[in-house]
Amino acid sequence: MSRVLVTGFEPFGGETTNPSYDAALLVPGVTAVELPCVFADAPAALREAIERHDPALVLCMGQAGGRAVISVEKVAINLIEARIPDNAGARPSGLPVVEGGPDAYLSTLPVKAMVRAVRAEGIPAAVSYTAGTFVCNQVAYALAHLIATERPGLRGGFVHVPYAPHQVTDTDRPSMETATVARALTALVKASDSLEDDLPEGAVQ
Amino acid sequence: MSRVLVTGFEPFGGETTNPSYDAALLVPGVTAVELPCVFADAPAALREAIERHDPALVLCMGQAGGRAVISVEKVAINLIEARIPDNAGARPSGLPVVEGGPDAYLSTLPVKAMVRAVRAEGIPAAVSYTAGTFVCNQVAYALAHLIATERPGLRGGFVHVPYAPHQVTDTDRPSMETATVARALTALVKASDSLEDDLPEGAVQ
Amino acid sequence: MSRVLVTGFEPFGGETTNPSYDAALLVPGVTAVELPCVFADAPAALREAIERHDPALVLCMGQAGGRAVISVEKVAINLIEARIPDNAGARPSGLPVVEGGPDAYLSTLPVKAMVRAVRAEGIPAAVSYTAGTFVCNQVAYALAHLIATERPGLRGGFVHVPYAPHQVTDTDRPSMETATVARALTALVKASDSLEDDLPEGAVQ
Amino acid sequence: MSRVLVTGFEPFGGETTNPSYDAALLVPGVTAVELPCVFADAPAALREAIERHDPALVLCMGQAGGRAVISVEKVAINLIEARIPDNAGARPSGLPVVEGGPDAYLSTLPVKAMVRAVRAEGIPAAVSYTAGTFVCNQVAYALAHLIATERPGLRGGFVHVPYAPHQVTDTDRPSMETATVARALTALVKASDSLEDDLPEGAVQ
């Protein structure tokens, strides 16, 4: 397997952990990097990690509190609308991720094949058509833009993961064990080389 | 008020009514047109309606079963993934709406001001960042593409509405009275001329 | 129709209105009474209303924020567990509604026939098997206990209703128009005399 | 620790596994018994298991598809309303669990302390006030009735668990790893001896 970079985020929104980075640390054979949950810093941190590690594949992950399944993101949009402050206290609204960039990027990874690979491990997964408008979507867009404009040989995409159980013990919100997320991520990395994403049977969900 | 075209869809997915067109018929001072829920026909029907009525504003509406509030769509993507057959029995997957078109369009309407206008009427509303991948998104994309490539003076966007109560009587799914949807639509039409969408208070939701 | 008493609650939990009482006021031919959302006072207020109006039927209603449909309650339990303070600032926990009372009462109203009657009006409805543990359940239990121990000729039950739209304009929570709730309540009153609740086709939900 | 009997159910509703019994098998030091998901047989199978193993504590478990957290049931009602057929093809409706039994039983286990114990393990849990109206509630009621009428020294209750991940891979429904459910169950068994269920801080959820 060629070099793989996996990024997760630092905790945000009052949490003390973030399952996206905790899971990244459990995936064998990849480089795990933690990104700041800060609009002003995250894209540069992503770029620096890519330049340092020169991967063939980058999978960025983020926590999607409230979602119950692994979500492979198909779309990243050129828009920032923060409902809560980021970790630097900023709450930007109505701004593009990249001034003058296209309105959105559709992922060039085989997202449907990737979802099938996770399900084959017995783990719930789905293609998602919105990565939100917070730092996760910013990083998803920044990665797609970097690939489109500077690194055509790089492959990459974004995946959202549920809360870890310990984050939501006194709620009725869905969660997923971090070890399970790591198994899903391992399957996603392998499947990202798949060439059969446009199978005729249609959308995975 | 300048000429306004409002489109709704015919019933689909086993339903016998579609609240999007039922509501369109109740809005005073607009032209209501019903679009076919057929991938092969909907874009042409939209174009024909625009050419015939030459509106200054087009609001296309569709039913988003399961959503509880009026959803003003910010994004339309260049992708079709049908989970169920359309009304012609087609279930296309992995296809673009417009071959060679950009990956997505962000709405140029003041979606946040529009949401505020609906809420001011006492009706729940939110900006939505995914219009799905069915005929609704296809029409949303087709409209944005038409505006971007052929009709720069035209303004337009897409709005999803909940089920009507009578469609879900024996379920626990959310619904909204068609008369309420029509009031929301009236507010949306008025607010679509707003110039103050980038108010500093941030995202509406 | 014999005398009917309908009760709703005063607003609570930071709300300025309560759709249960607002709807009660719209039902023709019934006596509407507002109950305090106060553990220490609600049962006595219910008893006083019954003694004053001497109804043949009592339908008590309450707001069930987050539910999407009319809920006809089948069960009232002898337990108070307040998650938020009532309108007097009390937050009792682990207490019975009636010291020494039975653990619960199953409604003696024809709840399935009542649900069918609401659905026949085109309004979503379901039998519910939990009325919660707040003042609503307290009133539901107190009413059932009063019937069981003192007023065998009285018929009565409890119904939960969704938020009104204006209460949740900036959320994604389900709601129902107050006029629709009033239509449902009118159907419920009529159907509460039904004798065919045990039709062989099984549970309504 | 005194003798503990843990029951789970056989698969039902088209499933090939049931996490309630799969988890029961993973709990150290307890006797695990599988109950049939059949109205006509389940109470007798429960009674037989109790007579054979003579436990001091019985925890019965069932699958609550769609719930995201461990649910410790507080209420069991004397009513059967089957929405789907049981594993013998029966779909009873409007029947009591025990002819002439009380309308319901409130659990005499320290359910709030039990929920706290699961949360202390980093696993989401809540007290639930409805065990439904299917075979799960039937068993919960039958157990409570047996304790109340024949075995005053026995302690017991009912717990609902979420789907296992492999059951819902192609859905967006919440799930919980069976090993996690087993850890929760281990904590529940230990905490069921707690004497401090009525702590003044109020309801757990």
Task: State yes or no: pLDDT of D201 exceeds 50.
Answer: no
Backbone dihedral region for residue B190 (phi beyond 0: left; psi -120 to 50: alpha; all else: beta): alpha
pLDDT tier for residue C197 given thresholds of 50, 70 and 90: low
Q: Looking at the complex, report in whole angstroms how far the Cα of residue D158 sits from the nearest Cα belonging to chain A.
A: 18
Chain A contacts in chain D segment 171-190 (CB below 8 A): 171-177, 180
Q: Running DSSP on this structure, what letter comes out for residue C148?
A: H
Q: Looking at the complex, report in whole angstroms how far the Cα of residue C45 sits from the nearest Cα belonging to chain B.
A: 32
Task: Answer whether D102 touches C (CB < 8 Å).
Answer: yes
pLDDT digits (tens, 9 = 90+) for A120-164: 999 999 999 999 999 999 999 999 999 999 999 999 999 999 999
> CB C172 to CB B122 under 8 A?
no
* Beta-sheet pairing, D155-161 with D70-73: antiparallel
pLDDT tier for residue D197 given thresholds of 50, 70 and 90: low
pLDDT digits (tens, 9 = 90+) for D52-103: 999 999 999 999 999 999 999 999 999 999 999 999 999 999 999 999 999 9
CA distance A80 to D168: 33
Q: Say what the pLDDT of residue D200 is.
A: 42
| Per-residue model confidence as pLDDT tens for chain A (205 residues) | 579 999 999 999 889 999 999 999 999 999 999 999 999 999 999 999 999 999 999 999 999 999 999 999 999 999 999 999 999 999 999 999 999 999 999 999 999 999 999 999 999 999 999 999 999 999 999 999 999 999 999 999 999 999 999 999 999 999 999 999 999 999 999 999 776 665 544 333 3
Task: State yes or no: pLDDT of B193 exceeds 90.
Answer: no
Q: Say what the pLDDT of residue D194 is.
A: 72
Selecting among D10, D60, D73, D150, the annotated active-site residue is D73
Q: Which two tokens stand for residue A140?
A: 């998803």
More confident residue, B1 or A59: A59
Q: Say what the pLDDT of residue C196 is.
A: 61
Task: Answer whether D122 touches A (CB < 8 Å).
Answer: yes
Q: Determine contact, residues A15/A167, Cβ cutoff 8 Å.
A: yes
Structural domains of chain B, with CATH: 4-191 (3.40.630.20)
Task: State yes or no: pLDDT of B88 exceeds 80.
Answer: yes
Q: Say what the pLDDT of residue A22 is.
A: 97
pLDDT digits (tens, 9 = 90+) for C36-92: 999 999 999 999 999 999 999 999 999 999 999 999 999 999 999 999 999 999 999
CA distance D136 to D158: 8
> CB D104 to CB C77 under 8 A?
yes
Task: State yes or no: pLDDT of C195 exceeds 90.
Answer: no
Q: What are phi and psi of A120, to 5 degrees?
A: -65, -20
Check if the interface score ipTM surpasses 0.85.
Answer: yes
> CB C175 to CB B174 under 8 A?
yes
- Measured in residues, chain C has a length of 205
Task: State yes or no: pLDDT of B197 exceeds 90.
Answer: no
Q: Looking at the complex, report in whole angstroms how far the Cα of residue A113 sits from the nearest Cα belonging to chain D.
A: 13
Q: Say what the pLDDT of residue D27 is.
A: 95
Task: State yes or no: pLDDT of B149 exceeds 90.
Answer: yes
Task: State yes or no: pLDDT of B203 exceeds 70.
Answer: no
Task: Answer whether D128 touches A (CB < 8 Å).
Answer: no
pLDDT digits (tens, 9 = 90+) for C14-23: 899 999 999 9
Residue C116 CB neighbour total at 10 angstroms? 20
In the block, tokens 């593409």 appear at B145
pLDDT tier for residue C2 given thresholds of 50, 70 and 90: confident
Q: Which two tokens stand for residue A100?
A: 């003058």
Name the E strands within A51-191.
57-63, 70-73, 75-77, 80-81, 93-95, 104-106, 125-128, 155-161
pLDDT digits (tens, 9 = 90+) for B176-188: 999 999 999 999 9
Selecting among C51, C136, C150, C177, the annotated active-site residue is C136
pLDDT digits (tens, 9 = 90+) for D26-49: 999 999 999 999 999 999 999 999
Average pLDDT of span C190-196: 79
